[in-house]
Amino acid sequence: MKQRRRHPLTLRAAYKDDLHKRLCDYITDTNFSRNGQSTDMPMLKKAVKFWLDAFFALRALIALRRLRQPSLVILTYHRVLAEDDSHRLCEQPGMIVSPGHLRNHIAIMESLGAVPMFLDDWLEQQKQSPENLPRLAFAVTFDDGWRDNFTQGLPVLREKNTPATIFLVSDFLDTKHVFWPEQILHLLTTVPPATVKRCLPGTLDWLRDYARDFRLGERKLSIEDADKVINRLKTLDDFEIYEHLKKTFNQCPELQPRAETAYILQAADIDALVDSGLIRFGAHTRNHARLNRLQSIEQLKDEVVNCKQLLEERLKNPIGLFCYPNGDITPDGERLVEAHYTAACTTETGLNRASTSPFKLRRLNLHDGNARHTLGLLATLGKGKL
């Protein structure tokens, strides 16, 4: 059948199809939790969520139809994992997109009439010759430098001929580092409760308060409950958490995740990503340190400025883009970023226009839980600044 190029207006048809699909989900009383697992959400809650999503999606569609100046949608991802990938069993729900959903998201953006662009190209063109920018563009970004961006994400980008920017954590490249949330997830959801119980007195005292209502050492936690513990731990600074974990594993090595394979991009992966011509890189600090938790200005400079220098030496290319870990910004951090970079991504949601500060770029954080369907993606956009 002849493929017709979809005009933004024809998205209404897709939107209608999606509404129909979503309604069927409710009728069969199934829905999906944030990690894509089937869950029994109460019917009323599902109905309210559905109509709220429909409202925000409509808001986004109306805004896109009324665009008066070139606009950019930035899509944010973390890990790309197939539906049956075992790494899903030990990952935060909001971190994962399947290759199929990534492909769909790109297709949805194209059906909206959006043109795929490198983020830095759009920003540059916006400064130099805004009249040549498409009415609507989209830029794909990945945070943290996960190895699956290369193994499972790049094939989709190749297939769709879509460029992307990966924000790298300079000191973790080429290592078998495991981010602290994944170490916590392993400890709480995978290690046998009897082992945790044995290590509890003394060794895990520091974690007790954060997992107070989850009967630590009596049962394995669900991913959702472990996710709550991770969010509570964010009151500590990243280095403090790594220090606690280091001491814990020294005393009880059986609690430590075995990182036989690297989670982070390795040298050969980076080379292949560069060779693809579809990937550029930005900075995401030296240690994925949340800037609002750093103890001194020296530490802040080290994470923000030295990260850029290290990446430039490693990649033999200038690094102009910065991305705030966890979206946490401080006035000092902001000043440093503005002095050393050309633009920065935040976790604020919405559309970017000429009037948007290049240091406060808005993005849509997409994952399997919030964007399984067209409706979810549009609703995520509609909830933001339009």
The site for Zn ion (CB under 5 A) is made up of 143-144, 325
Which residue, judged by CB position, is nearest to Zn ion in the bound state? Answer: 143
Residue given tokens 């939107």 in the structure block: 15
C-alpha span between 13 and 22 (Å, rounded): 14
Q: Are 339 and 359 in contact (CB under 8 A)?
A: no
In the complex, what is the shortest distance from the CB of residue 78 to Zn ion, in angstroms, rounded to a whole number?
7
Collect all residues with Cβ–Cβ distance below 8 Å to 241 and sequence separation of at least 6. 180, 233
In the complex, what is the shortest distance from the CB of residue 112 to Zn ion, in angstroms, rounded to a whole number?
27
Q: Are 25 and 67 in contact (CB under 8 A)?
A: no
Nearer to Zn ion by C-beta: 110 or 348? Answer: 348
In the complex, what is the shortest distance from the CB of residue 143 to Zn ion, in angstroms, rounded to a whole number?
4
C-alpha span between 189 and 375 (Å, rounded): 32
In the complex, what is the shortest distance from the CB of residue 144 to Zn ion, in angstroms, rounded to a whole number?
4
Q: Which two tokens stand for residue 330?
A: 């401080």
Nearer to Zn ion by C-beta: 18 or 144? Answer: 144
Collect all residues with Cβ–Cβ distance below 8 Å to 201 and sequence separation of at least 6. none
C-alpha span between 323 and 342 (Å, rounded): 11
Nearer to Zn ion by C-beta: 46 or 288? Answer: 288
Nearer to Zn ion by C-beta: 120 or 144? Answer: 144
Three-state DSSP at 164 gives: strand
Nearer to Zn ion by C-beta: 143 or 269? Answer: 143
In the complex, what is the shortest distance from the CB of residue 94 to Zn ion, in angstroms, rounded to a whole number?
12
